[in-house]
Amino acid sequence: MSSNHHPVKPQTAIFSKGYDPQRSEGAAVPPVFRTSTFIFKTAAEGKRAFELAYGLDTMKLGESPALIYTRVNNPNCEILETKITAWDGAEDAAIFSSGMGAISSTCLAFLKPGDTLIFSDPVYGGTEFFFRRILPMFNIRTIPFPAGASKADMEKLVQNDPTVKAIFIESPANPTIMMSDIGAAREIADQYSDDARKILLIVDNTFMGPIFSSPLKLGADVILYSATKFFGGHSDLVAGLAMGSKEHVGLIKVFRTILGSNSDPDTAWLIHRSLATLQIRMEKQQENAIKIVEFLRTHPQVQAVAYPGLPEMGENQVELWKRQCTGTGSLLCFFTQGGEAEAFKVLDAIQHMKMAVSLGGVESLIEHPYSMTHADMTAAEKDHAGITQNMIRLSVGLEDPDDLIADLKQALEKS
């Protein structure tokens, strides 16, 4: 968006993009449109709205179709969907009832029985469950490749297998913080796509986006978010997002309507309220995380720390981080000396952080991936993905960083 030919930054655009106060009695902030259904002015208007919602026709330039029913569309959801594209530069966005709603609806929109999806491993535990247990029930094969795999290793999975129709990358990976090469995946998708098959590149951008990474600009077709995390930012809602071209998001919205994975006006309104502070929250949380990482790296009870850009992540990981991200974010892992018992001692001794799953909220959340978020993976799968018994995941919040360090210090002394 621009005014006087000066292109404004996302932080400015989100204050006005997507909302016309004149359509809401001049209200400075969108009211909550808490309604299940919308009244058509004429039968023809209703017919046209359904044609567009079910993808039976495409929208004409300047056309503004009537709203139908909140499972299909709602002003709060639509305002948010327009605003939220400001950072990633997407043509369109779709809001969901959860990140898992976005992931499952997107995969089902593009994959059919007989197809194969390859995915960076590990991914969030719910996504793992969906890929390893649910998609195969519908005869959709899923094959993991290690997060951070070389282009050649990813390519091996695609070159002799014409059933591969999608590459799914979560970068950085939950919980190992390992980056995967989005540019290389794009090249592979292009090289092996033809008239008979299109390989879709899907990236879960929850950990770094939208402030510190923009996978659409690196070649992703669709990006996904758990909006429960940084977008919502206050641990008081559950939501998801999918973004990409109008064509891709249009199809995803048809599946959302029929699967019923839509969000609701109150949730969309709350996320809308969180947008103005998204950038400053993510920047300050990152500043706090950097201080905590510095502390943990020198603590004798800590075996190792995983955080984007650290030299101990390996040369390839640092190179990928520099190429794909503009910041380090506020998610990290550390490994206690010992195993589960020592990790549990630290977790049980924590006073100011909250021991809970989820991440990206204003309060620091600490958890044990092996037995909590990633509990469903087998021991061998966890071992393979680098999820160990002594690993603790920390999402750094907005508390005073000195207090957080003191909290970790006293807890580590008890391990």
Ligand X SMILES: Cc1ncc(COP(=O)(O)O)c(C=O)c1O
Q: Which residues would be at the binding site for ligand X (CB under 6 A)?
A: 98-100, 124, 126-127, 170, 174, 204, 206, 226, 228, 238, 240, 358
Nearer to ligand X, 105 or 226 (CB): 226
Which residue number places its CB atom closest to ligand X? Answer: 99
* Nearest distance in Å: CB 129, ligand X: 11
* Ramachandran angles phi, psi of 121, nearest 5°: -125, 130
Nearer to ligand X, 130 or 334 (CB): 130
Beta strand spans in 101-238 (E): 116-121, 141-146, 164-170, 200-204, 222-226
What size, in residues, is the chain?
A: 415
Token match 């750094």: residue? Answer: 396
Residues 6+ apart with CB under 8 A from 229: 99, 206, 358, 359, 360, 361
Could you tell me the CA-to-CA distances from 236 to 227, 239, 261 in Å, in that order? 11, 10, 19
Which parts of 4-146 fold into alpha helices (H)?
A: 10-13, 43-53, 75-83, 85-88, 99-110, 125-129
Nearer to ligand X, 199 or 238 (CB): 238
Of the candidates 256, 272, 166, 271, which has an alpha carbon nearest to the alpha carbon of residue 226? 271
Nearer to ligand X, 158 or 249 (CB): 249
* Nearest distance in Å: CB 373, ligand X: 7
* Nearest distance in Å: CB 329, ligand X: 12
With beta carbons less than 8 A apart as the criterion, state whether 68 and 234 touch: no
Nearer to ligand X, 126 or 233 (CB): 126
Nearer to ligand X, 318 or 357 (CB): 357
Nearer to ligand X, 49 or 238 (CB): 238
| Residue 169 structure tokens | 């990358």
The string of DSSP codes covering 10-21 is HHHHTTTTT--G
Give the span between the Cα atoms of 43 and 46, in whole angstroms.
5
* Nearest distance in Å: CB 221, ligand X: 17
Nearer to ligand X, 88 or 342 (CB): 88
* Nearest distance in Å: CB 160, ligand X: 30
Axis-axis angle for helices 75-83, 265-297 (nearest 10): 40
* Nearest distance in Å: CB 30, ligand X: 23
Antiparallel, parallel or unpaired: β 331-336 and 302-306: antiparallel
Give the span between the Cα atoms of 384 and 338, in whole angstroms.
19
With beta carbons less than 8 A apart as the criterion, state whether 396 and 404 touch: yes
* Nearest distance in Å: CB 146, ligand X: 17
Give the span between the Cα atoms of 83 and 329, in whole angstroms.
22
* Nearest distance in Å: CB 240, ligand X: 5
Nearer to ligand X, 82 or 358 (CB): 358
* Nearest distance in Å: CB 222, ligand X: 14
